[in-house]
Amino acid sequence: MNHYNITELSSGIKIVSEKIPYVKSFSLGFWFDVGSRDETTGNNGISHFLEHMFFKGTKTRSAKRISDEIESLGGYLNAFTSKEQTCFYGRGLSQHLERTFRVLADMLQNSLFRESDIKKESLVVIDELLDIEDNPEELIFDSFETRIFEGNPISLPIIGTEKNISAFNSQKLFDFIKKNYGFNNFYIVASGAVEHENLVKYCEKYIVKDLGITGKVRSPFHAKKSTDQSLYKEVQQSHLIIGKPTFGLKDDERIPVNILSTILGEGSSSRLFQRLREKNGIAYQISSFLNSFHDTSAFGVYLSTNDNAFLKGYGLILEEFKKLRDKPVSEKELKRAKEYFKGNILLSLENTTNRMLRIAQSVICFGEIKDLSLSIEQIDSVTREEILKVSNELLNESELVKVIISSKNHLHLNAA
């Protein structure tokens, strides 16, 4: 049986662990409840840029030594930035937990942010930005969320802008850290072959810098009317996302939306896959999605197909929307979607890193580790009537935002 523990130190740091007795490895994450949602247009991209810079050297470790110290033990270090959190994490064998903890603690307390390193890394991150702009499959999701969350900080892209990235310097990085990275939004989370009391001991031993308490206040999401967008690019395919904002992580209504998304376009048995790809052969990529945040989510359908099939594909999507609005799904289809959804959740938890991610996001969002069996019960309890209800709330064409990337500048949204 797995054992969960949560300790909040007097400093405000939350230490969360899950002991899995049958594994020999661990996943350890240092989380800050900070992301691009906490930025402004003037510093957009700084959370992601800091994620890069924390790996560039401390008072006692060079960038190479940081990676060597973990990789030489067969371990792994990485990080990611989302719109709401930044996570620095390591994986390794149980006997190397303290070493991994020590390296992460050093990075997050003693990084130097040398101007020469900032200048070099800005070129790397700008290259990453240009790579996204060259990839319509990535760019369209950024553009869609910018559109549907317009007027809210959550609309800001994680990567930022070239102008901002080029202007970052040591003082701006330290100022942002001081304002946003405090003990009260710092979480140390581990899953696997870990002992909770050791994590507490390591924290007291290696977290020696006073990060203080951040007074940052995150602006709540307020939905505003958004407009469609058509981007002209030299691409081989035409790309479309159609969707809108919907319920966030803290809203129980998100569960029926997840199941609706599964029915609509997740997996080879879904309605859109069967209708567009299998029956009509007009799209290699057709799927639905639900990207969720604390108090809102981005729900939509993504299509890429050749220019000649684009309008037909769009029309078929609207037909499937209408079917879901007009008639309840069958019990058989609903059961299939529930099992698919539950299966994806449970299979992902075969991995200690995914377990660590789930635990962290649960504690940050809900203040506790959400019982997995409760989530399964919520999924099982969704009815056909609830699916019909959310279909009518989410699948009305007149209320949906459409973003297109195409090389055909005559391919206007209104034409579809």
Terminal-to-terminal C-alpha distance of the chain: 54
| Residue from 5, 4, 20, 6 nearest 194 by CA | 20
198-242 pLDDT tens trace: 999 999 999 999 999 998 899 999 999 999 999 999 999 999 999
**Residue with the two structure tokens 């402004």:** 40
Q: What pairs with residue 77 in β-bridges?
A: 90
Q: What pairs with residue 242 in β-bridges?
A: 301, 402
Q: What pairs with residue 26 in β-bridges?
A: 92, 192
Judging by beta carbons within 10 Å of its beta carbon (0-12, 13-18, 19+), is residue 234 exposed, middle or buried? exposed
- Tally of CB atoms within 10 A around 197: 12
Q: Which two tokens stand for residue 133?
A: 């702009």
Q: Which two tokens stand for residue 320?
A: 């499937």
Q: What is the pLDDT along the chain (416 residues), one digit of tens a residue?
A: 568 999 999 999 999 999 999 999 999 999 999 999 999 999 999 999 999 999 999 999 999 999 999 999 999 999 999 999 999 999 999 999 999 999 999 999 999 999 999 999 999 999 999 999 999 999 999 999 999 999 999 999 999 999 999 999 999 999 999 999 999 999 999 999 999 999 999 999 999 999 999 988 999 999 999 999 999 999 999 999 999 999 999 999 999 999 999 999 999 999 999 999 999 999 999 999 999 999 999 999 999 999 999 999 999 999 999 999 999 999 999 999 999 999 999 999 999 999 999 999 999 999 999 999 999 999 999 999 999 999 999 999 999 999 999 988 544 554 44
| Residue from 39, 145, 132 nearest 84 by CA | 39
Q: Where are the alpha helices (DSSP H) in 12-135?
A: 46-53, 63-71, 97-110, 115-134
Question: Domains in the chain, start-ordered, CATH in brackets?
Answer: 3-206 (3.30.830.10), 229-415 (3.30.830.10)
Grouping H, G, I as helix, E, B as strand and the rest as coil, residue 183 is helix
Backbone angles phi, psi at 60, to 5 degrees: -120, -10
123-160 pLDDT tens trace: 999 999 999 999 999 999 999 999 999 999 999 999 99
The whole model's pTM is what? 0.95
Judging by beta carbons within 10 Å of its beta carbon (0-12, 13-18, 19+), is residue 58 exposed, middle or buried? buried
